[in-house]
Amino acid sequence: MKDAAIIRVAAVAAIGIAAAAGVYAATRGGATDTAVTQPRAESVLSALYEARGDADALCALATSDGNCRALLQGPGDAPDAVPAVVCSAEYAGDATHAAGLIVRIHTEGTAADMEAMVLDVDGEARFMNPVYWGSAGVSEGSTATPGPIEYHYG
């Protein structure tokens, strides 16, 4: 009987941990703490470039389909120039924000470089802002202020 009670307590604890993990993952949109490397981000950026002009294909590479479609409303057509990651910085995340990689993207013919967060979502690297030729307005070009983010060039 004592063993049965221990098993019940262990089962309840396991269910509680699984439920907490599920709520935690759900609040972060499926994002994980798996590291996104600059080469992974560059690979997805290449896929974004290939998907330009096709909203469905482009938004399939985003963390949020709805956010992607909203961001597509403003910047017009993507330029023909190939975008490039010029530097990146790891974002460690916290209890409510997933870890990821911040990348600065340069595309010839655009008004300014833009920054985007790349997250691991269910094992796939995804851009929060896949519209690399149009800034979401958070930070762009010379308006970015120096701060605690240490970028890695090269």
Span 42-95, pLDDT tens digits = 999 999 999 999 999 999 999 999 999 999 988 888 889 999 999 999 988 888
Tally Cβ neighbours within 10 Å of residue 37: 14
Q: Let me know whether 45 and 121 are in one domain.
A: yes
pTM, two decimals, is: 0.68
Residue 24: give the domain boundaries: 1-29
Structure tokens at 3: 């063993």
Q: Let me know whether 20 and 62 are in one domain.
A: no
Task: Over range 97-121, report the average pLDDT.
Answer: 88
Q: Let me know whether 23 and 45 are in one domain.
A: no
Q: Let me know whether 63 and 4 are in one domain.
A: no
For residue 9, pLDDT over 50 is answered with no
3-state DSSP assignment of residue 69: helix
Q: Let me know whether 14 and 42 are in one domain.
A: no
Task: For the chain, report the end-to-end CA distance as a whole number of angstroms.
Answer: 63
Residue 82 CA to residue 111 CA, distance in Å, equals: 15
Residue 113 CA to residue 83 CA, distance in Å, equals: 10
